[in-house]
């Protein structure tokens, strides 16, 4: 089974706040899925997203 990351996990990985992680997870090109009220992303999809967007800038407010 794939490891799933939540907003807290993403925040820890990126060393940012949980609010910024939620904002990122709501971006249309972010590979998150919503189950109930929770946003989750598979670790391998998250790592692919980071590689694909390594020079892209996200203006999260």
User: What's the CATH code, domain 4-52?
Assistant: 3.90.105
Q: Tell whether the model's pLDDT for residue 58 goes beyond 80.
A: no
pLDDT digits (tens, 9 = 90+) for 33-43: 999 999 999 99
Q: What is the DSSP letter of 30?
A: S
For residue 45, the SS3 value is helix
Q: What is the DSSP letter of 34?
A: E
* Calpha distance 12→18 (Å, rounded): 8
pLDDT digits (tens, 9 = 90+) for 7-37: 999 999 999 999 999 999 999 999 999 999 9
pTM: 0.84
* Calpha distance 18→15 (Å, rounded): 9
């Amino acid at each position: 089974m794939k490891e799933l990351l939540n907003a807290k996990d993403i925040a820890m990985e990126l060393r940012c706040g949980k609010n910024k992680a939620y904002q990122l997870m709501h971006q249309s090109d972010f590979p998150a899925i919503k189950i109930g009220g929770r946003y989750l992303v598979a670790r391998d999809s998250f790592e692919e997203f980071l590689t694909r967007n390594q020079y892209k800038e996200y203006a999260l407010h």
